[in-house]
Amino acid sequence: MSKKLIRFDWAIKRLLRNKANFVVLEGFLSELLFDSIKIEHILESESNQDDSEDKFNRVDILTQNSKNELIIIEIQSTYEIDYFHRMVYGVSKSISENLQLGQKYSNIKKVISVNIVYFDLGQGQDYIYKGQTDFKGLHQKDTLTLSSKQKNTFKKETVSDIFPEYYLLKVNQFDDVAHDTLDEWIYFLKNSEVKDEFRAKGLREAGEVLDIMRLPQHDQYGYNRYLDSLHLKASELFSLQTEAEFKAKDERTIEIAKNGILAGFDDEIIHKMTQLSWEVIQQLRENFE
């Protein structure tokens, strides 16, 4: 048995910012990061703007955990060819916004960027990717480490603990077979469902908080409008892709006809090859005269 729930991308904008519901985000992040995550508060910044026309990076939610780290959770439903660049911008923006004027660089907070995408980004067979910064020796092939003094001063164990960390979840590539508790979360992100046998941290609470039937009437209306907008965007994208395919096909057909004319084929042969009208073929011939 499973229960259909509210989509995570809508919930993260409307419901999960409530401190009482932090347990859902904490459960998701704990499973993903293999750590016990405690969210202290939600940060408001330029990155959290909810204006569809804004020119800033739009982060779905920016949190600070008990380790004084910044965690960005970004969800993208529609295709963006430069999404990798957007990830970099979001992290850079968060770092600069949270370093006050006059503070030393060691006050820079570590940023963990969690990106949930519902389109095929890059090339790869997995559905969860992690990126971090390590420095490798070009000659000795060793990994640069922190000195003992740096470890004691910064309370960090490795150089990568200082630099931003990226997680990329390519939800649509998941095959719907949950092998562990993290997969249970991926299943929920893809299907908006929680099966009775799932035991991942935060999912039981998600099943309660994100129950569509528990939403107030005005929120149910807003949620249904959001789903309608997703369908509309999908239809618009499909229409653009279809038009581009037909245009490309027409251009190839015209090119075949032109080559046929140059090769000395008569109109009947060109018509059979391309299915172009006699008028179009004649017009193409006149253009060559």
How far apart are the C-alpha atoms of 8 and 244, rounded to whole Å?
32
Q: What pLDDT is attached to residue 46?
A: 47
Q: What pLDDT is attached to residue 2?
A: 67
Q: How far apart are the two ends of the chain, measured CA to CA in Å?
A: 72
Q: Which residues of the chain have pLDDT under 70?
A: 1-3, 44-59, 245, 289
Collapsing DSSP to helix, strand or coil, 157 comes out as coil
Q: What pLDDT is attached to residue 221?
A: 82
Say if pTM beats, i.e. exceeds, 0.85.
no
Amino acid identity of residue 74, one-letter, is: E
Amino acid identity of residue 189, one-letter, is: L
Q: What pLDDT is attached to residue 51?
A: 47
Note whether 197 and 212 are within 8 A (CB): no
For the residues of 182-239, what is the DSSP string, one character each? HHHHHHHHHHSEEETT---TTHHHHHHHTBGGGS-HHHHHHHHHHHHHHHHHHHHHHH
Q: What pairing do the DSSP bridges indicate for beta strands 165-170 and 128-131?
A: antiparallel
Burial class (CB in 10 A: 0-12, 13-18, 19+), 26: buried
Q: What pLDDT is attached to residue 228?
A: 83
Q: What pLDDT is attached to residue 259?
A: 85
Dihedral class, residue 28 (left if φ above 0, else alpha if ψ from -120 to 50, else beta)? alpha
Collapsing DSSP to helix, strand or coil, 117 comes out as strand
How far apart are the C-alpha atoms of 38 and 128, rounded to whole Å?
22
Residue 248: partners with Cβ closer than 8 Å, 6 or more residues away: none
Residue-range domain boundaries for the chain: 2-215, 225-288
> Among 105, 220, 250, which residue's Cα sits nearest to residue 163?
105
